[in-house]
C-alpha cells in the first residue's frame, strides 16, 4: 500500500502540485485489524499515517512528520470535513488569517506560513464504500491557484490510485488472515518424545498470493514410537491453510487409531476422494485433492523407520559419518489420486532424518534432482545443533533471494 501511495505522490509532483501527501487512515494500513470505521482518538479526532510524500523542494519542508507517524487532524479542519462528506475540499486561496481551523493546528500553521503554501486541494480516497484516507495537493512556488480543472485532474488521479490501494488492502488482509490461521494450525512446540530430538523451520514465499498449505507435525505415541510427517496442500491463501489444518487433524486421528503408515495414507486417500466428491461446486475452493504427504514412523527399540509417501519428495538422511543419502522411496501419487508407496530402513544412533516440502528443492530454473543435490550438500556442511542446522540449510539453498514457494523443513536426530 505504501508503494502505491508513494507512486501517487510522485505522479502528481510537479505536474499538478509542488507538494503532495497521501495520508491513509490507520485502520487501513498493514498490520491493523480489518477496516470497520475510521481510526479516531477518544476525542473523535481522526488518525492518519503518512504513506507517501513528494515535493519539488529538497528535504520536503512541507512534511513535518515522519512516514508512518500518527497524524491527528481536528474535527474543524478541512481534512475531517472531506472525510465526513466524502467530497473534495477546494481552497483556491488558502485563508491563514486568525480565526480559521489553523488556530487548532499550530504545527501545520507554522509549516504553511514557513513554506508559503497558498492554495490547497484535499481529495478523499474512497473505494467500495470505504474511506481509506486523503490526498493533499498544495502549491507554494507556483503563484497560480488551483483551478476547477486541477480539481478534476486530482480527483481522477486519486480515484485510480484508490482502486490499487484497496486491492492492496484486501490482499494484505487476506494474507495476514491466512498466515495467522496457519500459525495457529502448525504445532507451537515440537515433541520428539524420548525417541528423537526435533527442530523445524517454515519460510513463506513472497511470490504467491497468500501463504501456501505446507505443514509438518510430530506425534509421539504411548509405546515410545514417534511419527514425523510433512505435507503440502495445493493452492495458496486462507483456503489452503484451512485444508492444511484439516489434513493435519485427519493424520493425527488416524495415527492414534494405530494404523501403519501405508494403511494410513490409503485411508487418507479414500477420505480425500470422498470429500472432493461431496464438495459443492459453488462453494469455496477447499478441494485437497492433489495434496502430498510424507509420513515416517520411527521405533527407537528396533531402530526401524517405516516411511510412506504420497506424491512427496523422499527424505534426506544425514548419517553419523557425515554422509548424506536419500532413501529409495518412490514418490507415489498425490493424495486423492491413487495409492502411495512405503519403505522400511534401519537408522543408526545419531542419524538425522530431514523431511521437507518441494519449495526447498524445486525452482523454475532447476529440477528436483538438482535441488536434492543442493540439499545434500547443504546438510553435509551444516552445523550439528538441529536449530542451527535448519537455519543453515535454508540459508544455503535460498540465500537472500525470495523463496519461490513456501518451505517447510522438519529434522529429527535419533537417540
The CATH number of 187-414 is 3.60.40.10
Residues with Cβ within 8 Å of residue 413, at least 6 apart in sequence = 196, 197, 198, 350, 351, 352, 353, 386
From CA 336, how far away is CA 286, in angstroms rounded? Answer: 13
User: What pLDDT is attached to residue 276?
Assistant: 67
Neighbours of 128 (CB within 10 A): 11
What's the CA gap between 376 and 2, in Å, rounded? 40
Q: Please write the tens of the pLDDT for every residue from 209-244.
A: 556 789 999 999 999 999 999 999 887 777 777 888
CA 372 to chain centre: 26
Its pTM stands at: 0.69
The residue whose grid cell reads 514412523 is 297
Looking up cell 480539481, which residue turns up? 151
CATH of 2-177, one of 3.30.450.40, 3.40.1280.10, 3.10.580.10, 3.30.70.60: 3.30.450.40
Q: Using one digit for the tens of pLDDT, what is the confidence trace for 275-303?
A: 667 655 545 555 556 789 999 999 999 99
In the structure, what pLDDT confidence band is assigned to residue 246 with cuts at 50, 70 and 90? confident
Burial class for 342, CB neighbours closer than 10 Å (0-12, 13-18, 19+): buried
Cβ-defined contacts of 98-104 (< 8 Å, 24+)? 101/74, 101/76, 101/77, 104/74, 104/76, 104/77
Domain assignments of the chain as residue spans, ordered by start: 2-177, 187-414
Amino acid at each position: 500500500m505504501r508503494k502505491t501511495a508513494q507512486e501517487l505522490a510522485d505522479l502528481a509532483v510537479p505536474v499538478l502540485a509542488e507538494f503532495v501527501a497521501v495520508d491513509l487512515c490507520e485502520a487501513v494500513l498493514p498490520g491493523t485489524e480489518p477496516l470497520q470505521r475510521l481510526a479516531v482518538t477518544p476525542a473523535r479526532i481522526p488518525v492518519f499515517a503518512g504513506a507517501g510524500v513528494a515535493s519539488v523542494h529538497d528535504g520536503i519542508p512541507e512534511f513535518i512528520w515522519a512516514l508512518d507517524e500518527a497524524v491527528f487532524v481536528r474535527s474543524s479542519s478541512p481534512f475531517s470535513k472531506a472525510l465526513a462528506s466524502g467530497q473534495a475540499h477546494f481552497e483556491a486561496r488558502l485563508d491563514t488569517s486568525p480565526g480559521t481551523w489553523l488556530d487548532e493546528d499550530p504545527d501545520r500553521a507554522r509549516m504553511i506560513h514557513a513554506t508559503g503554501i497558498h492554495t490547497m486541494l484535499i481529495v478523499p480516497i474512497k473505494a467500495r464504500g470505504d474511506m481509506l484516507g486523503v490526498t493533499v495537493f498544495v502549491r507554494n512556488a507556483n503563484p497560480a491557484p488551483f483551478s476547477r480543472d486541477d480539481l478534476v485532474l486530482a480527483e481522477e488521479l486519486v480515484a485510480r490510485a484508490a482502486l490499487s490501494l484497496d486491492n492492496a488492502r484486501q490482499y494484505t488482509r487476506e494474507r495476514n488472515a491466512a498466515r495467522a490461521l496457519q500459525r495457529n494450525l502448525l504445532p507451537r512446540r515440537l515433541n520428539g518424545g524420548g525417541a528423537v530430538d526435533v527442530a523445524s523451520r517454515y519460510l513463506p514465499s513472497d511470490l504467491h498470493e497468500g501463504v501456501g498449505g505446507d505443514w509438518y507435525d510430530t506425534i509421539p505415541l504411548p509405546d515410545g514410537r514417534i511419527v514425523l510427517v510433512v505435507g503440502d496442500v495445493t493452492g495458496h491463501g486462507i483456503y489452503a491453510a484451512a485444508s492444511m489444518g484439516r489434513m493435519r487433524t485427519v493424520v493425527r486421528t488416524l495415527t492414534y487409531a494405530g494404523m501403519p503408515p501405508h494403511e494410513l495414507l490409503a485411508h487418507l486417500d479414500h477420505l480425500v476422494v470422498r470429500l472432493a466428491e461431496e464438495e459443492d461446486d459453488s462453494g469455496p475452493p477447499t478441494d485437497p485433492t492433489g495434496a502430498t504427504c510424507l509420513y515416517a514412523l520411527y521405533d527407537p527399540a528396533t531402530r526401524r523407520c517405516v516411511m510412506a509417501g504420497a506424491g512427496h519428495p523422499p527424505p534426506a538422511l544425514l548419517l553419523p559419518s557425515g554422509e548424506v543419502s536419500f532413501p529409495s522411496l518412490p514418490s507415489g501419487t498425490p493424495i486423492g489420486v491413487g495409492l502411495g508407496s512405503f519403505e522400511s530402513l534401519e537408522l543408526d544412533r545419531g542419524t538425522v532424518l530431514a523431511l521437507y516440502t518441494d519449495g526447498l528443492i524445486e525452482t523454475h530454473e532447476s529440477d528436483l534432482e538438482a535441488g536434492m543435490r543442493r540439499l545434500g550438500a547443504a546438510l553435509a556442511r551444516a552445523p550439528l545443533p538441529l536449530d542451527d542446522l535448519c537455519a543453515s540449510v535454508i540459508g544455503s539453498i535460498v540465500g537472500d533471494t525470495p523463496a519461490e514457494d513456501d518451505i517447510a523443513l522438519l529434522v529429527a536426530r535419533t537417540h
